């Protein structure tokens, strides 16, 4: 393993300086549950590791009138130990509780999971169906992008040289809203999704006013299945209507066959999981 | 527990004392293979082949040698070239040449991960960087990665210089290292007279033992050409043997100190890094330690063989088996020996079969050289036999236990390889299964929409080896006993061996202190494997304890000046038979005994312990939409002979079942066509975790072995045999699907369900 420098900046500006200086030869360290394993496995060679956990904005959990803001390095356990997050965003908790075991959840963050940009990431689909916005800092100041634009390929994200993720912003819905995330693994824990789906929906007057479905492990990045989601908007959430969404989601899925699953099985799983997550979200909103 | 022996009044045997090595292990004090640290020690690393099959044209180590912090670089040029001499017994046979080539490739690499060079450096990072600088020029060849490819016409040949034995004929240029046949009676006649004949072929994937502790090897080569080795192994003497052969040294020049062992299941019998560490030490005059990563362990150490097994069984109209045929093709890996004789011994072992024929093929493929894995080859063949038996029962409507009882193998039944069984306990196990709460319970076949449940049963066998063991005892001045032995302790054998000595001496298990010592400190002891240790080393401890009593009586006779036959010993007291005044505790006799300290030693070389049989019942719940299978109830029934320490016997039964469930549901070497394993990590090599298993209930059936004073049989291996067919039969019960390939993973289930519709 190539030797590298370790930095622990305390401000966004300081972090930006270091990241700018090292460019591609630096990586951010949040929980380290991906980066350290990859560095040891020599997936890349680094000159600098920039620990961002000492920057206050990166580890916050803040409620505003309109949003929940989660620092990019806020560990998963902070989320599922917060009763209000559990109540308002059970779909996010589905993900936070699935990433690794308890030890990993004490370190790992949703932001890290997002930046790692694995096609099978457990947090990204949930962030997509919660209409999350990424707040990014960099040499040119800050910018915001929708989370569904963050992943650009397996292990690749939209961050430019010197940029890093500061926080994730999720809107607070006025209506009856909930979400759910479910992954399929052949075992009961300690595994990576063969296929996974997050679904969210908002109900008003018995009809679906908004819906989002996102798919993981069935493409080079997690997929926002927009065309499938739209099929339910303005409709009653009947089994028949949900089935249409799940069939469409299955069409959208474009998995590869590998050691974790076959194309056919993964597509079938997307159909099953879409149905199950929409039903679960519906159950959660009390619809 | 079910017991057929009269209840003897044992004081120690059958109790559950805390194991002698327990505190060290739960506190982390115990020293495992990689924990050894020696003054001036260097770290060794190896370069492994990226190709599964290639000729080595040249190796350039010059860049690595020039690196700062690198002390030595080696290739196979630094190892002696050995002849093609066959050696050894069933669990460790093979030629010296192959033994050496598997440690480090000479002319050809035969699997991805095959070692081609080694480096010793000041630290691990430097060693890894140096390895990257070694340049190897390969001529890449096409690999064969399963038995069909290897046996195909015009298949690439792994060993052009090897002569195989095909039914006594010498054959060159074949990937079939051996073809053996065993015949009893006339199967053609048997099948002709049969009312029903069922035939199935199963396809087993390569699996790994999956021990938690990766391999390591540490060595010092001194100025007198003496080599000291520290390693985690199932057999310190087999390591001594193998290392001395590979290095062409007399065995007495090699001393092996076994470290604690973090699992082995057969896979810690072969050597890998030890001779490399030794040669690097010779070059540097420093201790060298080399360690494997998990990926190295998967890529390059002993998997359990995959392969294809075809079984055909014919029964008469009463349900009696008339004839059985098996065609067994197992992957030896890169070098011969896929345990085909064991496969032949086990395939029809649970049944009384009047005529049988078994063809067994030992097939070379470009995978790591297969190592023993818990009842080697028995689970592979049991999958075929037990599936056929289940299908016969399904077609004819027989109760699967009644059918097995009707055809049960018992004392006097002739086995496939000739000898008749001595006392065995399969019948008792089947009866215990029949009487179990599990078998008598009912299972809701359709508990909720989309969920199906099913129950399966299967039986299995392992023959349990004997061989050589040695034990020394020494009576300490405080009246307690030190026991030294050569069996490395993989599953509580310190306790089970010490308990047998304690039983003879009539003292507490805690008062016998066992130590596993190096090869210079104890007589030859064969590997901890083949389920032999509690049986054979325990037998040596039993004999040594009796000899210690003789010594005690002899010393008391001198002290009291009376004849030995006037003296008796029981429960830690030596006393005169006639004079009640003459009486000493062990502490009293041990304090300055006349003529020197009281010690004894014993060694044995035993026949097989008499086979062990297991019967398992599995209940599954299957999600028809996703193919996810959960094991919801599981009972393991086994003839354990005599359970010395029942907790460890139960542990062996549960552990074997857990591993077998893994084979059945998810474990496999997932390889690409280039022979590269793609899932060489615990993330993707899906062994069951705690959440994947229900409580595995155990029923110990005690039918004592005739070969051991306490009736001990091996217990470690039979429990891995029934799970694969038990799960397969349960899937058939739930879904009406016969899945004939392992693993019976979710995609196979959903895809088969779709085909059925």
- Tens of pLDDT, residue by residue over B160-188, are 989 999 999 999 999 999 999 999 999 99
Domain boundary among A171, A203, A233: A171
Query: What's the pLDDT at A286?
Result: 86
Q: Flag if A186 and B746 touch (Cβ within 8 Å).
A: yes
Q: Of the candidates A32, A91, A82, which has an alpha carbon nearest to the alpha carbon of residue A62?
A: A82
CB-CB neighbours of A230 under 10 Å: 15
Are the CB atoms for B693 and B598 separated by under 8 Å?
Answer: no
Distance from CA of B631 to the nearest CA of A (A): 11
Report pLDDT for B84: 55
Across the range B145-154, mean pLDDT stands at 97
Asked which of A111, A137, A171 is the last residue of a domain, the reply is A171
What tokens were used for A44?
């890349």
Q: What's the pLDDT band for B87 if we cut at 50, 70, 90?
A: very low
Q: Which of B747, B748, B753, B755 to mutate: most A Cβ within 10 Å?
A: B747
State the best of A41, A188, A247 to mutate against chain B, taking most chain B CBs within 10 Å: A188
Distance from CA of A77 to the nearest CA of B (A): 21
List b or e across B544-577, with b for residues whose CB sees 16 or more CB atoms inside 10 angstroms.
Answer: bbbbbbebbbbbbbebbebeeebbebeebebbbe
Tell me: pLDDT of B742 over 90: yes
Chain B interface, mutation test: which of A259, A266, A275, most B Cβ atoms within 10 Å? Answer: A259
Q: Which strand ranges, in their side-by-side order, compose the sheet holding A48-51?
A: A5-7, A48-51, A26-29
List A residues 225-264 in contact with B (Cβ-Cβ < 8 A): 258-262, 264
What pLDDT sits at residue B69?
A: 98
- pLDDT tens digit string along B610-629? 899 999 999 999 999 999 99
Q: Cβ separation of B683 and A191 shorter than 8 Å?
A: yes
- Residue B85 reports pLDDT greater than 80: no
Is the domain of A199 the same as that of A120? Answer: no
User: What is the pLDDT, as a whole number, of residue B93?
Assistant: 43
Query: pLDDT at position B432, please?
Result: 98
Is A1 touching B (CB cutoff 8 A)? yes
pLDDT reading at B241 higher than 90: yes
Q: Which residues contact B418 (CB under 8 A, 6 or more apart)?
A: none
Helix%, strand%, coil% for chain A, nearest 5: 35, 30, 35
Tokens of B349: 């072992």
Q: Which residues of B touch A272 (CB under 8 A)?
A: 625-626
What's CA B336's distance to the chain center, in Å? 18
Question: Which of the residues B625, B663, B683, B754 would you substitute to probe the A interface, choosing the one with the greatest number of A C-beta atoms within 10 Å?
Answer: B625
- Give the whole-number percent of chain A exceeding pLDDT 70: 100
Please report where in the chains the tokens 């308890």 appear, as a residue.
A102
* B211-220 confidence digits (pLDDT tens): 999 999 999 9
Query: Within this chain, do residues A221 and A267 fall inside the same structural domain, yes or no?
Result: yes
Asked if A122 and A15 sit in the same domain, the reply is yes
What is the secondary structure of B555-603 as a DSSP string? HHHHHHTS-GGGEEEETTEEEESS-TT-EEEHHHHHSS-TTS--EEEEE
- A165 is in which domain, residue-wise? 5-171
Residues in B closer than 8 angstroms to A239, CB to CB, are none
Given this model, what pLDDT does residue B90 score?
36
Give pLDDT tens digits for B682-735. Answer: 999 999 999 999 999 999 999 999 999 999 999 999 999 999 999 999 999 999
Q: How far apart are CA B534 and CA B708, in angstroms?
A: 10
B576-580: which pairs have CB atoms within 8 A and are 24 or more residues apart? none
Distance CA B715, CA B642 (A): 10
pLDDT of residue B95: 83
Contacts of A190 in chain B (CB under 8 A): 682-683, 689
Q: In this predicted model, what pLDDT tens digit does every residue of B99-120 receive, in sequence order?
A: 999 999 999 999 999 999 999 9
Is B36-141+235-283 CATH 3.40.50.1000?
A: no
Residue A48 has pLDDT above 90, yes or no: yes
Angle, alpha carbons A72-A74-A77 (nearest 5°): 140
Helices (H), B326-398: 340-347, 378-396
Nearest to B745 among A186, A258, A272 (CB): A186
| Burial status of residue B514 (CB atoms within 10 A of its CB: 0-12, 13-18, 19 or more) | buried
Overall number of domains in chain A: 2
What the block records as the tokens of A185 is 């693994």
Q: How far apart (Å, rounded) are the C-alpha atoms in residues B124 and A1?
A: 9
| Domain co-membership, A83 together with A140 | yes
Show the tokens assigned to B504: 């003879």
d(CA A174, CA A171): 9
The encoded tokens of residue B610 equal: 């008499």
pLDDT beyond 70 at B79: yes
Give the whole-number percent of chain B exceeding pLDDT 90: 95
Report helix, strand or coil for B690.
helix
Contact indicator for A193, B626 with CB cutoff of 8 Å: no
pLDDT in tens, A70-127: 999 999 999 999 999 999 999 999 999 999 889 999 999 999 999 999 999 999 999 9
- Kindly indicate the confidence band of residue B91, based on its pLDDT and cuts at 50, 70 and 90: very low
Answer yes or no: is pLDDT of A187 > 60.
yes
In this structure, the answer to whether residues A128 and A260 fall within a common structural domain is no
Distance CA B721, CA B639 (A): 13
| Confidence band, pLDDT 50/70/90 cuts, at residue B3 | low
pLDDT band at B394 (very low <50, low <70, confident <90, very high): very high
Tell me the three-class secondary structure of B127-180, residue by residue.
HHHHHHCCEEEEEECCCCCCHHHHHCCCCCCCCCCCEEEECCEEEECCCEEEEE
The beta-carbon neighbor of B626 closest among A1, A191, A272 is A272
Q: Which residue has the tokens 């699907």?
A: B737
pLDDT of residue A174: 86
Residue B52, classified by CB atoms within 10 Å of its CB into exposed (0-12), middle (13-18) or buried (19+), is buried
Distance CA B44, CA B281 (A): 9
A186 to chain B, minimum CA–CA distance in Å? 6
CB atoms within 10 A of CB B595: 10
Token pair, residue B454, equals 């099913």
pLDDT tens digits, one per residue of B599-608: 999 999 999 8
pLDDT score recorded for residue B1: 67
Radius of gyration of chain B (CA): 27
Average pLDDT, chain A: 96
Select from B315, B471, B292 the least CA-distant residue to B396.
B315
Q: Which residues on chain B are in Cβ contact (under 8 Å) with A189?
A: 689, 691
Over range A253-278, report the average pLDDT.
Answer: 97
Nearest chain A residue to B624 by CA: give it.
A272
- Cβ separation A191–B745 shorter than 8 A: no
For the segment B574-579, the average pLDDT, to the nearest whole number, is 96
DSSP string spanning B38-107? -TT-EEEEEEE-SSSSEEEEEEE-HHHHHSTTEEEEEEGGGSPPP---EE--TTS-EEHHHHHHHHS-SS
Residues of chain A contacting residue B624, judged by C-beta atoms under 8 Å apart: none
Shortest alpha-carbon distance between residue A69 and chain B (Å): 32
Using a CB-CB cut-off of 8 Å, the residues of chain A touching B751 are: 262, 264-265
> Where among A171, A192, A220 does a domain terminate?
A171
Q: Which two tokens stand for residue B167?
A: 């039914």
CA dist B152 → A46, B174, B178, B741 (Å): 48, 10, 15, 20
pLDDT given at position B82: 83
User: Which residues on neighbouring strands pair with residue B120, listed in sequence order?
Assistant: B44, B72
Q: Which CATH class is domain B423-464+610-757?
A: alpha beta
Going from the C-alpha of A244 to that of each of A199, A206, B10, the distances in angstroms are 14, 18, 70
Mutate which of A187, A193, A276 to disrupt the B interface (most B C-beta within 10 Å)? A187
Q: Give the phi and the psi of residue B681 in degrees, each rounded to 5.
A: -145, 160
- Using the Cα atoms of residue B49, residue B53, residue B59 and residue B63 in order, give the sign of their dihedral: negative
* A272 at interface of B, judged by CB pairs closer than 8 A: yes
Specify whether A78 is located in the same domain as A160: yes
Give the number of beta-carbon pairs within 8 Å between A and B: 53
The pLDDT confidence band at residue A175, using thresholds 50, 70 and 90, is confident
A16 in the same domain as A134: yes
Which CATH architecture best describes the domain B2-30+465-606? Answer: 2-Layer Sandwich (3.30)
> Would you say B131 and B63 are in contact if contact means Cβ atoms under 8 Å apart?
no
CA distance B270 to B368: 12
Q: Where are the alpha helices (DSSP H) in B208-300?
A: 236-247, 274-284, 294-300
Q: Which two tokens stand for residue B85?
A: 């001499």
Kindly state the average pLDDT of the residues B486-494.
95
Q: How do residues B645-695 score in pLDDT, each as one tens digit?
A: 999 999 999 999 999 999 999 999 999 999 999 999 999 999 999 999 999
Q: What are phi and psi of A263, to 5 degrees?
A: -60, -50
Q: Tell me, yes or no, if the two domains B36-141+235-283 and B423-464+610-757 fold the same way.
A: no
Q: Residue B641, by phi and psi: left (phi above 0), alpha (psi -120 to 50) or beta?
A: left
Neighboring chain A residues of B746 at a CB cutoff of 8 Å: 184, 186, 194, 265
Q: For B320, how many CA atoms within 13 A lie in the half-sphere containing its CB? A: 8
d(CA A162, CA A140): 9
In this prediction, residue B6 carries a pLDDT of 57
pLDDT, residue B94, reads 56
Binned at pLDDT 50, 70 and 90, residue B746 comes out as very high
The region of weakest confidence among A27-41, B145-159, B320-334, B513-527 is: A27-41
A27/A85 same-domain check:
yes
B746 → closest Cβ in A188, A258, A265: A265
CA distance A139 to B65: 44
- Tell me, rounded to whole angstroms, the distance of Cα B68 from its chain centroid: 43
Using the predicted structure, report yes or no on whether residue B89 has a pLDDT greater than 70.
Answer: no
Domain ranges of chain B: 2-30+465-606, 36-141+235-283, 423-464+610-757
H helices present in A117-189, as ranges? 124-129
CATH of the domain at A89: 3.30.465.10
How many helices and strands (H and E) does chain A possess?
A: 11, 14
pLDDT for A287 beyond 70: no
pLDDT at B50 over 90: yes
Domain identity same for A24 and A160:
yes
The answer to whether residue B92 scores a pLDDT higher than 50 is no
Question: Does the distance separating the beta carbons of B750 and A187 come in below 8 Å?
Answer: no
Residues in A touching B125 (Cβ below 8 Å)? 1, 3
Pick A265's closest partner by Cβ from B666, B683, B747: B747
CA–CA min distance A277, chain B (Å): 14
Q: What is the arithmetic mean of pLDDT over B50-55? A: 98
- Are residues A187 and A154 both part of a single domain? no
For residues B377 and B306, give the distance between their C-alpha atoms in angstroms, rounded to a whole number. 9
- CATH of residue A279's domain is 3.30.390.50
Instruction: Check residue B5 and give its pLDDT.
Output: 59
Confidence band, pLDDT 50/70/90 cuts, at residue B88:
very low
Q: Which residues contact B686 (CB under 8 A, 6 or more apart)?
A: A186, A187, A191, B662, B666, B667, B679
User: CB–CB of B628 and A269 under 8 A?
Assistant: no
Residue B632 distance to chain A (closest CA, Å): 13
pLDDT band with cut points at 50, 70 and 90 for residue A233: very high
Of B125, B627, B692, the CB nearest to A187: B692
H or E element that contains B184: strand B176-184
Q: A218 and A145 share a domain?
A: no
Hey, what are B427's tokens?
Answer: 């019948």
**Gap between the Cα atoms of B542 and B505, Å rounded:** 9
CB atoms under 10 Å from CB of B521, counted, come to 15
- Looking at chain B, which residue has its C-alpha nearest residue A184? B626
Residue B512 has pLDDT above 70, yes or no: yes
Asked if A155 and A207 sit in the same domain, the reply is no
Average pLDDT over residues B63-75: 98
pTM for this entry: 0.96
Give the pLDDT confidence score for residue A40 in this predicted structure.
86
Shortest alpha-carbon distance between residue B625 and chain A (Å): 7
Quick one: closest CA in A to B747, which residue? Answer: A265
Given an 8 Å threshold on Cβ–Cβ distance, is A258 in contact with B686?
no
Indicate which of B746, B749, B754 best probes the interface with A, i.e. most A CBs within 10 Å of its own CB: B746
- Give pLDDT, residue A93: 97
Q: In what order do the strands lie in the sheet containing B108-109?
A: B108-109, B54-60, B135-140
């Amino acid at each position: 393993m190539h030797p590298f420098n370790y930095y622990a900046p305390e401000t966004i500006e300081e972090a930006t300086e270091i990241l700018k200086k090292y460019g591609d030869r630096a990586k951010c360290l949040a929980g380290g549950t991906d980066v350290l394993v990859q560095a040891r496995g020599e997936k890349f060679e680094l000159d600098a590791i920039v620990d961002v956990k000492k920057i206050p904005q990166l580890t916050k959990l803040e409620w505003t009138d309109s949003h929940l803001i989660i620092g990019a390095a806020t560990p998963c356990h902070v989320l599922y130990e917060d009763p209000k997050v559990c109540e308002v965003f059970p779909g996010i908790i589905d993900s936070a509780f699935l990433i690794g075991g308890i030890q990993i959840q004490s370190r790992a963050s949703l932001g890290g999971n997002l930046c790692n940009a694995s096609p099978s990431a457990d947090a990204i689909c949930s962030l997509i169906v919660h209409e999350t916005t990424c707040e990014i800092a960099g040499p040119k100041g800050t910018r915001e992008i929708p989370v569904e634009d963050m992943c650009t390929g397996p292990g690749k994200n939209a961050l430019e040289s010197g940029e890093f993720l500061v926080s994730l912003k999720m809107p607070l819905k006025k209506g009856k809203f909930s979400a759910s995330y479910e992954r399929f693994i052949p075992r009961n824990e300690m595994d990576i999704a063969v296929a996974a789906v997050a679904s969210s929906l908002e109900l008003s007057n018995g009809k679906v006013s908004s819906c989002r479905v996102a798919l993981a492990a069935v493409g080079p990045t997690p997929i926002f299945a927009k065309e499938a989601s739209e099929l339910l908007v303005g409709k009653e959430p009947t089994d028949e209507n949900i089935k249409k969404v799940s069939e469409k989601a299955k069409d959208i899925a474009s998995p590869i066959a590998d050691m974790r699953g076959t194309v056919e099985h993964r597509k079938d799983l997307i159909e099953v999981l879409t149905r199950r997550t929409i039903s679960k979200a519906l159950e959660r909103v009390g619809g | 527990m079910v017991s057929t022996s009269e209840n003897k009044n044992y004081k120690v045997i059958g109790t559950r004392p805390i194991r002698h090595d327990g505190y060290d292990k739960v506190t982390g004090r115990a020293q495992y293979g990689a924990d050894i640290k020696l003054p001036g020690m260097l770290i060794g690393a190896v370069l492994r082949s990226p190709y599964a099959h290639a000729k080595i044209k040249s190796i350039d180590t010059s860049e690595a040698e020039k690196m700062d912090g690198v002390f030595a670089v080696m290739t196979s040029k630094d190892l002696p070239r050995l002849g093609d001499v066959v050696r050894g017994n069933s669990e460790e046979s093979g030629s010296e040449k192959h033994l050496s080539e598997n440690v480090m490739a000479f002319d050809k690499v035969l699997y991805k991960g095959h070692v081609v060079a080694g480096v010793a450096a000041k630290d691990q990072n430097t060693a890894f960087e140096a390895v990257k600088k070694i340049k190897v020029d390969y001529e890449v060849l096409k690999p064969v990665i399963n038995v069909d490819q290897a046996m195909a016409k015009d298949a690439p040949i792994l060993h052009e210089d090897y002569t195989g034995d095909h039914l006594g004929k010498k054959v060159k240029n074949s990937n079939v290292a051996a073809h053996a046949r065993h015949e009893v009676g006339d199967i053609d006649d048997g099948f002709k007279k049969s009312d029903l004949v069922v035939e199935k072929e199963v396809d087993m994937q390569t699996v790994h033992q999956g021990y938690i502790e990766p391999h390591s090897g540490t060595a010092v080569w001194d100025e007198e050409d003496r080599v000291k080795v520290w390693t985690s192994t199932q057999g310190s003497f087999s390591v001594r043997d193998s290392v001395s052969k590979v290095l062409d040294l007399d065995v007495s020049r090699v001393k092996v100190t076994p470290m604690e062992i973090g699992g082995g299941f057969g896979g810690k019998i072969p050597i890998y890094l030890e001779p490399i560490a030794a040669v690097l030490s010779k070059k540097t005059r420093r201790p060298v330690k080399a360690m494997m990563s998990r990926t190295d362990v998967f890529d390059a150490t002993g998997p359990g063989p995959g392969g294809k097994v075809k079984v055909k069984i014919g029964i008469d109209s009463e349900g009696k088996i008339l004839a059985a045929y098996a065609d067994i093709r197992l992957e030896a890996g890169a070098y011969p020996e896929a345990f085909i004789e064991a496969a032949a011994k086990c395939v029809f072992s649970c049944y009384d079969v009047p005529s049988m024929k078994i063809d067994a093929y030992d097939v070379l493929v470009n995978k790591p050289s297969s190592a023993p894995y818990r009842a080697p080859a028995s689970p592979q063949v049991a999958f075929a036999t037990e599936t056929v038996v289940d299908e016969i029962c399904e077609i004819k409507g027989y109760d699967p236990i009644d059918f097995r009882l009707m055809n049960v193998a018992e004392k006097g039944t002739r086995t496939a390889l000739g000898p008749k069984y001595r006392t065995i306990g399969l019948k008792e196990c089947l009866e215990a299964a029949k009487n179990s709460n599990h078998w008598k319970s009912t299972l809701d076949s359709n508990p909720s929409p989309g969920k199906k449940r099913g129950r399966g049963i299967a039986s299995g066998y392992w023959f349990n080896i004997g061989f050589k063991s040695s034990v020394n005892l020494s009576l300490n001045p405080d009246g307690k006993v030190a026991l030294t032995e050569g069996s490395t302790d993989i599953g509580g054998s310190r306790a089970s061996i010490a308990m047998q000595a304690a039983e003879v001496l009539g003292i507490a298990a805690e008062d016998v202190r066992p130590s596993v010592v190096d090869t210079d400190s104890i007589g030859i002891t064969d590997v901890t494997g083949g389920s032999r240790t509690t049986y054979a080393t325990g037998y040596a401890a039993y004999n040594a304890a009796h000899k210690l009593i003789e010594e005690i009586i002899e010393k008391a006779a001198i002290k009291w000046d009376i004849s030995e036959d006037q003296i008796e010993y029981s429960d830690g007291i030596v006393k005169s038979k006639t004079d009640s005044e003459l009486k000493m505790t062990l502490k009293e006799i041990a304090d300055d005994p006349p003529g020197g300290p009281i010690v004894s030693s014993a060694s044995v070389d035993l026949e097989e312990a008499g086979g062990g049989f297991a019967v398992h019942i599995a209940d599954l719940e299957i999600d028809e939409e996703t193919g996810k299978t959960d094991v919801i109830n599981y009972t393991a029934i086994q003839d354990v002979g005599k359970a010395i320490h029942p907790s460890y016997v139960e542990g062996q039964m549960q552990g074997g079942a857990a591993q077998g469930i893994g084979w059945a549901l998810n474990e496999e070497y997932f390889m690409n066509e280039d022979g590269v394993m793609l899932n060489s990590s615990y993330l993707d090599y899906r062994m069951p975790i705690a959440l994947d298993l229900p409580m595995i209930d155990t029923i110990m059936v005690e039918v004592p072995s005739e070969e051991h004073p306490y009736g001990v049989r091996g217990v470690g291996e039979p429990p891995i045999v029934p799970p694969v067919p038990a799960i397969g039969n349960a899937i058939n019960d739930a879904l009406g699907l016969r899945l004939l390939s392992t693993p019976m993973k979710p995609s196979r289930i959903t895809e088969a369900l779709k085909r059925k519709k």
